[in-house]
Amino acid sequence: MNLRRTAAIRLMTIIVVANFFASLKTSNLVILTMKNLLVYYDPDFTTTLEDIPIPEYGPDELLIQVIAAGSNPKDWKHPLPQFFNVKVNQGDDVAGVVSAVGSSVKNFKKGDRVAGMHVMDTPRGTYAEYTVCPQQSVFHIPESMSYEEAATIPLAMFTAAVGLYRNLRLPLPFERSDREIGTTKVPLIINGASSAVGAFALKLAKLNPSIGPIIATAGSGADFVRASGGADAIVDYKSPTIIGDLRKALGDKKLYHAFDASNSVQSVTYLTSVLDPTGRYTCTTSIADGLYGDGEQSRLLKNWGGWAEQIWVGSIHEEKLAGGKWFGGVMSRLMEYLLEEGLFTGHPYEIVQDGLDGVEAALIKLRDRKSGNEKFVTRIADTEGIDTE
């Protein structure tokens, strides 16, 4: 009797377990684990592909199935010992499909096509099958836009927006008065306009007719900037007469706003030479000794005497700068409108070969400045061993 009872219990257990796993095939839990790419130095730059559980998400977050992930220069910089010295999934740009939403998330539902920015230097990044993003840095993308193009947008767009509107305090696209068009114009110089951040700053700035002339600096990317439109003048930053060239482009107008998308001692020198001492300067990359340290860039900025601040795009995920999260949400909703109306587009891109297995080589190309004017985009489905069904 006991043997029969034991056999029956075993049979029932097998049936229950079999039914459980069969149910997973028709539920949201088809995949219990996922591929995740770590980016770090040990001691040289390297990446490791691992299997981990699908990440959990909070009440204000979205779980997104990653179709395409965009790469940024910070992805190879931030793991460096002199930066954040972290061993983490460095991907922050995502385009994909909403898999689940937190209890407090509004305006999004499962199945939505979206793009978004992950919280930098934290787990659950976008070099993976699934990622998690706060709702304020996620926006819907139109059916006409590919996931690959959408993946080029989030981090660079938010960086450009923080620089233009939070730091330089320029008017947003919808802040305008038609009677002032043509009479009240605000000149702007965008240095490094062929980079993704510089190009997006140019696209956003030209949406408001009160900003102008918009003067772009570029080197080998000048043809790209010219083709993209938006710049009233393009100046070669390698020219030995660049200061005079910038002044000529400005005409009789004073310059109070400079957006430096590729700051260096050289760029700070020529920008502060034409900026009014009461103007505003903002830059994308860190100045090694800080804006008020003893290095050459800092010395130049202090001698100039105006207002200067590095762009911290992470402010859209925190409240160190008041209103950061609100600003992120406003820009996300604005971006939805601009994309739907065809008023904003992504950046040129190159597909990374072999999916996540090819990210390391792509980031090394970024580090060695071999990416041209294009962004690297990774299709997760191109990774060996990932089942896309």
In a domain, 389, yes or no: no
Q: Is the pLDDT of residue 292 over 70?
A: no
Domain residue limits at 128: 33-152+325-382
Determine the average pLDDT of the residues in 329-345: 98
Q: Which of 139-148, 283-292, 321-330 bottoms out in mean pLDDT, i.e. has the lowest?
A: 283-292
Give pLDDT, residue 25.
Answer: 45
Q: What's the chain's average pLDDT?
A: 90
Do residue 38 and residue 99 come from a single domain? yes
In a domain, 137, yes or no: yes
Q: Structural domain tally of the chain?
A: 3
Do residue 298 and residue 184 come from a single domain? yes
In a domain, 388, yes or no: no
Q: What is the pLDDT of residues 100-120, one digit of tens each?
A: 999 999 999 999 999 999 999
Q: Is the pLDDT of residue 237 over 50?
A: yes
Do residue 184 and residue 207 come from a single domain? yes
Return the percentage of the chain with pLDDT > 70, whole number: 87
Q: 258, 280, 311: which is the final residue of a domain?
A: 311
In a domain, 218, yes or no: yes
Do residue 173 and residue 77 come from a single domain? no
Do residue 178 and residue 124 come from a single domain? no
Q: Which of 19-33, 62-76, 116-130, 329-343 bottoms out in mean pLDDT, i.e. has the lowest?
A: 19-33
For the chain, what's the residue count? Answer: 389
Sorting pLDDT into bands at 50, 70 and 90, what band is 81?
confident
Give pLDDT, residue 276.
Answer: 97
Q: Is the pLDDT of residue 7 over 70?
A: no
Q: What is the pLDDT of residues 167-196, one digit of tens each?
A: 999 999 998 655 555 556 899 999 999 999
Determine the average pLDDT of the residues in 78-97: 93
Choice between 8 and 369, residue whose per-residue pLDDT is larger: 369
In a domain, 282, yes or no: yes
Do residue 260 and residue 129 come from a single domain? no
In a domain, 366, yes or no: yes
Q: Is the pLDDT of residue 2 over 90?
A: no
Paired tokens of 72: 């940024």
Give pLDDT, residue 33.
Answer: 95
Q: Is the pLDDT of residue 239 over 50?
A: yes
Q: State the pTM of this model.
A: 0.89
Do residue 87 and residue 23 come from a single domain? no
Do residue 90 and residue 184 come from a single domain? no
Do residue 145 and residue 214 come from a single domain? no
Do residue 261 and residue 217 come from a single domain? yes
Choice between 322 and 56, residue whose per-residue pLDDT is larger: 56
Q: Is the pLDDT of residue 346 over 80?
A: yes
Q: Which of 152-156, 291-295, 305-309, 319-323 bottoms out in mean pLDDT, i.e. has the lowest?
A: 291-295
Do residue 39 and residue 133 come from a single domain? yes
Determine the average pLDDT of the residues in 263-281: 94
Determine the average pLDDT of the residues in 106-135: 98
In a domain, 317, yes or no: no
Give pLDDT, residue 300.
Answer: 87
Sorting pLDDT into bands at 50, 70 and 90, what band is 4?
low
Give pLDDT, residue 85.
Answer: 84
Give pLDDT, residue 370.
Answer: 82
Give pLDDT, residue 17.
Answer: 43
In a domain, 246, yes or no: yes
Determine the average pLDDT of the residues in 86-94: 97
Q: 287, 311, 335: which is the final residue of a domain?
A: 311
Q: Which of 157-166, 281-290, 325-334 bottoms out in mean pLDDT, i.e. has the lowest?
A: 281-290
Do residue 5 and residue 101 come from a single domain? no
For residue 96, the domain's CATH number is 3.90.180.10
Sorting pLDDT into bands at 50, 70 and 90, what band is 202?
very high
For residue 273, the domain's CATH number is 3.40.50.720
Give pLDDT, residue 136.
Answer: 98
Give pLDDT, residue 299.
Answer: 84
The 3-class SS string of the chain reads CHHHHHHHHHHHHHHHHHHHHHHHCCCCCCCCEEEEEEEEECCCEEEEEEEEECCCCCCCEEEEEEEEEECCCHHHHCCCCCCCCCCECCCCEEEEEEEEECCCCCCCCCCCEEEEECCCCCCCCCCECEEEEEHHHEEECCCCCCHHHHCCCHHHHHHHHHHHHHHCCCCCCCCCCHHHCCCCCEEEEEECCCCHHHHHHHHHHCCCCCEEEEEEEECCCHHHHHHHCCCCEEEECCCCCHHHHHHHHHCCCCEEEEEECCCCHHHHHHHHHHEEEEEEEEECCCCCCCCCCCCHHHHHHHHHCCEEEECCHHHHHCCCCCCHHHHHHHHHHHHHHHHHCCCCCCCCEEECCCHHHHHHHHHHHHHCCCCCCCEEEEEHHHCCCCCCC
